[in-house]
Structure 1
Amino acid sequence: MSHNNWEVIVTHATRTGVGLFLGAVLGTQTWANSACDANDALIIVSATDDGLYEETHGPENAIDGDFDADSRWSNQGQGAAKSLLLDLGATQTLKSLSIAWHKGDSRKSEFYVEVSADGTTFETRIPTRQSGGTTLDLEPYDFDDTAARFVRIVANGNESNDWNSIVEVAAFGCGVAVEKPEQPVLTERKGSGLFGLDPDKTPGENFDLTGWYVTTPADDDGDGKSDSVYENELAAGWTDPRYFYTDPATGGMVFRVTPAGAKTSANTSYTRTELRGMLRKGDYAIATRVDGGFPNKNNWVFSSAPLSAQAAAAGVDGKLTATLAVNQVTRQGKAYQVGRVVIGQIHAKNDEPIRLYYRKLPQNKYGSIYFAHDPETGKEVWVDVIGSRGDRIDNPDDGIALDEVFTYEIEVKGKPEGDSIIPMLHLKIIRDDGSEVAAEPFDMRDSGFSVEDEFMFFKAGAYTGNNTSPEPETDFDRVIFYKLDYSHDPAPKGDGSGFSNPTKAAAPAEPGIVFEDSFADGGRDDGPDAADTNWWTTSSSSAIEVTEGALGLVSGGSGRGIRTTFAPQVLSEGQTLRATFEFTTPETIGTDRESAFRVGLYDKLGRPELEGDLSASSKQPNRIYDGLPGYMIDFDIGVSDPAAANIDVRKHKDDSQGRLLGTTKGYERLGSGGTPYQFEAGTAYTGVMAVRKLGNGIEISGSLSKDGETLSEFRQTDEGSALDTFGMLAFHVNSKTFGSSKAKDTPDNGLDFTKVRVEVLP
């Protein structure tokens, strides 16, 4: 039966006849046509939605072959589009879709259609459009043939209201045989309250509260502090009709707080009925917080925090999303306190990156939204978002009324800036009409939260800002939440060191060249030349200067470093990893600069963070460099006693601070020696650093040559060392060692490397 014949039957038959015919096709036909030159009705195995459909109007009604208006799918948008997901049972060649809309002869419905072969990645096949508005029968919608198993009809209300209602759907095409289930797949219906909440259920049944505990103004145990109920009991259905319960009209989660009542501590001036985020999710073996203020697996940190803090935490950065309405605020008390309530927070160890306020004065129709940023260092900052926080402001015309449903999104995201991550605070308010008001991103780099002994947690509820009401038992704030959720980026995982990737097994090294970079392409990346390698900065971002044929290590007035990473080389006994580097000195050579030119070979421990520019200094060590197994050789520059110029061999300590070659304090000196030497200005040299695997240790050697003649050479054995893997080569020069200018493209600003080679010798 062709698609055209189908349309003729649908157009000219009575609606009862169409229903009987569709039932015959979709209800009794067992298999879809497998000959793909056909265009027949395909079996639809199931139709599902989000469970918020109206009473008996579930999604399965849209594929039952019944055109009676009572046999329809209906799901109210409430400010968002709704999706009807169809499963064809197997990937078919889909050629068109036909939809019979409820009241389709008197109103137009807005929709678009997406298809997918795997149920994960969807592509649009029918862009956003309206139905015809002239028929109750199936309206055909053609598109190019496409391979699809899943069809998603995304409906966004109609001309009259935000209801999405479809009486019947039919899909046409060809493909493989699919059996129609004897019983329809049913979508479990969610509650009948607002946003699918159930007025007859407790907050713990309507919401996932396994990641929260609640504090109220009650002191039922008489300990002088406000009572708290923790995750497992809360999720199991705990309520308190005074402060925390389900709204019988909407099913929302009610937070009610009076100025009277117990407080959380002697340092708190105000009462609260408020949830506190608990990332441990009911695992009471994990403490709520660690004494001293260090992060643990119950809390989260900023991505600008040290990696050790990130690894200790349960998450990094975060987003809190809530849909709510403020029903009542205090009306009595001092002018600067009346009508204000905190509805969401990020709380730190002591202070708050954000306290989000709703405030409505008694004489005003609408309320304002603003927030406070209370840093660990510096003064508190206030930011108006909608209206103003003033005590005697006029009615804010764009304000939010009591009982108006709105959404807030509080988010912390790290923003890369040079070699640093800047913690940025974002706030967005989404009104009930879908309009958005976003605050300017707030820079928290100087707020003192990006440190080792700091942690974060979200809070949401009603935290009153009024403790001066003359009737504290009856004056109150009440906030109802309809949606509440938070999320975080995962904390770094690994071998316990706090880094995101532990050491991975590598294949034994094969003799030959690992890389040989002559910088012919004028770039520092691993270019088309198979022998190229990537080069990264170790200290300042301005340490590298690239020209065709040379890679500059710009020193200037500060110590700087560069490095490259390569595939890990696992040395067998007797094998040597040798790094050879040819370089030219600038026109200015420093004096009395002991151990000032440094070269290192390290195991990178599989840390992906090393594959990029990283800054480190004495004031801000970079923990990514901590504890990397490896060795350093260093050369003396312009020492006052030329006979004292030698080559030192040092071993990187396991507990070293993250400065890599920027300091010798993180190293154990193994030995020094070699023939005295002097560096000359504007002269080409060749240096070598090598590590050789012995039966019981590692032999480290270094040399310096000019014009093919060895100027100095020294080797030292680290007996008992089990180190056998290397994957990073680094260079560093101290301040005022080679050149004094910071300007690029000058002959006075550092070393120019003309060739660097790393190879494995048998």
Structure 2
Amino acid sequence: MVKIKLVSKVAIVTICLSTLFSCGGGSVRDDAVLPVAPVTPPVIPPTGIADPIFPPNNSVTNCNGLDFIERISVESDSVATSGFEASKAIDNDLTNESRWQSSENGAELTIDLGYRHLLKEIGTAWYMGDAQISTFDLFVSEDGIDYTRILTNQSSSGTTDALERFEVSNTITRFVRFVSFGANDAANMLGETALKELAVFACPLDVDVVPLQTQTVDLAQYQLDPNVAPGENFDLLTWALDTPRTDPSDGFSLRASERDLDQGFEDDDHFYTASDGAMVFRSTIFGAKTSANTSFTRSELREMLRRGNTSISTQGVNQNNWILGYQPNPGRPVGGRGGSLKATLRIDKVTLDGSQSHTGRLIVGQIHAGSDEPIRLYYKKFPNNERGYIYFAHELNGGEDIWKMVLGPTHSNTDNQPIFTANIDQGIALEEIFSYEIEQQGARIDVFIRRGDLNGPIIAHQFIDMEAENSGYDQTSVWNYFKAGAYSQNNTGDSGDANGVGSDYDQVRFYYLSNTHGEQ
């Protein structure tokens, strides 16, 4: 192995910022007892209504897709708690610190979508949403003057502070007015509104193809040195690495331990530092696999919470691995409960040959259990398409996969596999920087996609509820770990000559990677 010396320490990259994306959806239970009697708020048009981005074409009344809509602006006449203004309800930030808060009963805010859409769902994320129920009404308007109520006395579940999705009847609208009657009496917040985020899911009526906007990502923020090994730019003491290189001792994939990575391990063919300082993962179709039961090659990190303490086994319910948020307490120390995997990355290349299901398909992030995967996050792009899809599989414990589209069409075939159309206008292109967040808390796994870095707008969201799906992971014997990198999902393409020369490959570069967990 030879250490690579590369140039260019700082770069600025221009990428695309979409105003929409396609994603799946779900409904939220509506049988909760409402603790606060709602009142009918006055209908007050927002001030300073702007001209629509696209002139309305009233002859168009239907569209396909379930898209996350960019919210152009927000207005509110309700008095907000200092530091928690209404604008924080549409800032793409779901942290507790970034919320709209008001003590008014019937506190309202109105968001402008810029032009007409066919509204299909809304999403809400509430501060302390896992401890209390909040109620609200929803109004819509095409002109910002005359409003129609389409949801009455709707309530959050009270079981999660993640983004909950609520179905609505398909309704044409440009303006969405949200009227909150606050929370129940948990934490002494009776009647208090504390909304972390309000999302709108719809499809556009006044434009056939939503234009892409540009955003610049300054790579200098990551302070990556192109002249050092990945372990000097990233904290890799909590990761081990598997590559397609063969380990002569057993014939399987060569593993570099967390200590190896921390001490500067590099592989010129599969794992190295790029000229912009990024951590590069290259997985060739030809090469060694991690076990006899694995069908595909990978250049991929495996989480190691033991941080080089080899007295702790890599497998089992122990301090090297973690438990899901809804698992029973195993009665022994573990590496944490629940967790968050966040990455900013770009996909340089995907495979170009092979079967239709294999071509251009790879996994960039996972939650892996002992033998099954609660989530595998996929990217797929066909050779003739400009942009690719993002979707995930949730494998039932000892069972089949449930597939969820994150960024792409919502339809699936009879085998519940994603269906890929000829192209996807709002997908992720090769060499385009984007970010993903895999959040596990309670029984939910949420996936967020951002175009750009982790401060960029959320453009896609999807989730799985493991309790609702009877996934079978709520057992004391289950243990989990994150994975990230380039896990190729193509074994039917060009594997090169007898020595693998000319083998097709997937290549991904990471600019940021973090793995965190809650306390047991």
2:444 aligned residue (424, 442, 453): 424
Is the contact between residue 348 and residue 508 of structure 2 (CA under 8 Å) also seen in structure 1? yes
For 2:397 and 2:420, the matched residues in 1 are separated by: 30
Residue 346 of structure 1 is matched in structure 2 by 367
2:376 aligned residue (355, 359, 365): 355
Equivalent position SS for 2:490:
coil
1:237 aligned residue (261, 264, 268): 264
2:424 aligned residue (367, 378, 396): 396
Is the contact between residue 445 and residue 464 of structure 2 (CA under 8 Å) also seen in structure 1? yes
**Residues 266, 76 of structure 1: alpha-carbon distance in 2 compared, 3 angstrom cutoff:** closer
**Residues 360, 163 of structure 1: alpha-carbon distance in 2 compared, 3 angstrom cutoff:** closer
For 2:444 and 2:384, the matched residues in 1 are separated by: 36
Deviation at 1:233, TM superposition (A): 1.2
Deviation at 1:312, TM superposition (A): 2.9
Deviations 1:638-664 (A, max 9, x none): xxxxxxxxxxxxxxxxxxxxxxxxxxx
Residue 483 of structure 2 is matched in structure 1 by 459
Matched, 1:482 2:511: yes
Is the contact between residue 193 and residue 251 of structure 1 (CA under 8 Å) also seen in structure 2? no
**Residues 430, 331 of structure 1: alpha-carbon distance in 2 compared, 3 angstrom cutoff:** same
**Residues 296, 161 of structure 1: alpha-carbon distance in 2 compared, 3 angstrom cutoff:** closer
Residue 251 of structure 1 is matched in structure 2 by 277
Is the contact between residue 193 and residue 199 of structure 1 (CA under 8 Å) also seen in structure 2? no
Residue 212 of structure 1 is matched in structure 2 by 239
Is the contact between residue 353 and residue 374 of structure 1 (CA under 8 Å) also seen in structure 2? yes
The alignment yields a C-alpha RMSD, in angstroms, of 3.0
Matched, 1:306 2:341: no
Deviations 1:442-484 (A, max 9, x none): 1112111110111000000000000011335321000000000
Is the contact between residue 376 and residue 394 of structure 2 (CA under 8 Å) also seen in structure 1? yes
Unaligned runs of 5+ in 2: 1-8, 16-81, 88-213, 410-416
For 2:440 and 2:248, the matched residues in 1 are separated by: 37
1:411 aligned residue (439, 442, 449): 439
For 1:194 and 1:328, the matched residues in 2 are separated by: 24
For 2:462 and 2:215, the matched residues in 1 are separated by: 34
Bigger CA radius of gyration: 1
**Amino acid of the structure 2 residue aligned with 1:479:** V
Residue 540 of structure 1 is matched in structure 2 by none
Matched, 1:201 2:228: yes
- Counterparts in 2 of 1:44-193, with a 5 A limit? none
Equivalent position SS for 1:234:
helix
Deviation at 1:303, TM superposition (A): 2.5
For 2:215 and 2:348, the matched residues in 1 are separated by: 25
For 1:459 and 1:470, the matched residues in 2 are separated by: 26
Is the contact between residue 323 and residue 478 of structure 2 (CA under 8 Å) also seen in structure 1? yes
Matched, 1:470 2:494: yes
Deviations 1:548-600 (A, max 9, x none): xxxxxxxxxxxxxxxxxxxxxxxxxxxxxxxxxxxxxxxxxxxxxxxxxxxxx
Deviation at 1:163, TM superposition (A): 10
For 1:162 and 1:368, the matched residues in 2 are separated by: 22
For 1:398 and 1:327, the matched residues in 2 are separated by: 18
Residue 572 of structure 1 is matched in structure 2 by none
Deviations 1:157-177 (A, max 9, x none): xxx99799xxxxxxxxxxxxx
Equivalent position SS for 2:245:
coil
Calculate the TM-score normalised by the size of structure 2. Answer: 0.55
**Residues 355, 362 of structure 1: alpha-carbon distance in 2 compared, 3 angstrom cutoff:** same
Residue 330 of structure 1 is matched in structure 2 by 351
Higher relative contact order (CA 8 A, sep 6+): 2
Is the contact between residue 194 and residue 482 of structure 1 (CA under 8 Å) also seen in structure 2? no
Deviation at 1:438, TM superposition (A): 3.8
**Residues 470, 267 of structure 1: alpha-carbon distance in 2 compared, 3 angstrom cutoff:** same
- Counterparts in 2 of 1:245-644, with a 5 A limit? 245-248=272-275, 250-290=276-316, 295-309=317-331, 311-388=332-409, 393-414=421-442, 423-432=443-452, 434-445=456-467, 446-472=470-496, 473=500, 474-491=503-520
Alignment size in residue pairs: 304
For 1:375 and 1:163, the matched residues in 2 are separated by: 38
For 1:333 and 1:391, the matched residues in 2 are separated by: 17
Is the contact between residue 246 and residue 254 of structure 1 (CA under 8 Å) also seen in structure 2? yes
Is the contact between residue 336 and residue 391 of structure 1 (CA under 8 Å) also seen in structure 2? no
Deviations 1:686-726 (A, max 9, x none): xxxxxxxxxxxxxxxxxxxxxxxxxxxxxxxxxxxxxxxxx
Deviation at 1:368, TM superposition (A): 0.4
**Amino acid of the structure 2 residue aligned with 1:461:** G
Deviations 1:581-623 (A, max 9, x none): xxxxxxxxxxxxxxxxxxxxxxxxxxxxxxxxxxxxxxxxxxx
For 1:363 and 1:200, the matched residues in 2 are separated by: 35
Is the contact between residue 300 and residue 456 of structure 1 (CA under 8 Å) also seen in structure 2? yes
Equivalent position SS for 2:232:
helix
Deviation at 1:273, TM superposition (A): 0.5
For 2:13 and 2:251, the matched residues in 1 are separated by: 47
For 2:391 and 2:251, the matched residues in 1 are separated by: 32
Unaligned runs of 5+ in 1: 1-53, 56-74, 80-122, 129-159, 165-191, 415-422, 492-762
Deviation at 1:194, TM superposition (A): 6.9
Deviation at 1:251, TM superposition (A): 0.5
Equivalent position SS for 1:233:
helix
Deviation at 1:441, TM superposition (A): 2.9
Deviation at 1:432, TM superposition (A): 2.0
**Residues 477, 214 of structure 1: alpha-carbon distance in 2 compared, 3 angstrom cutoff:** same
Equivalent position SS for 1:326:
strand
Deviation at 1:377, TM superposition (A): 4.3
**Residues 380, 76 of structure 1: alpha-carbon distance in 2 compared, 3 angstrom cutoff:** closer
Deviation at 1:223, TM superposition (A): 1.7
Identical amino acids, percent of aligned pairs: 43
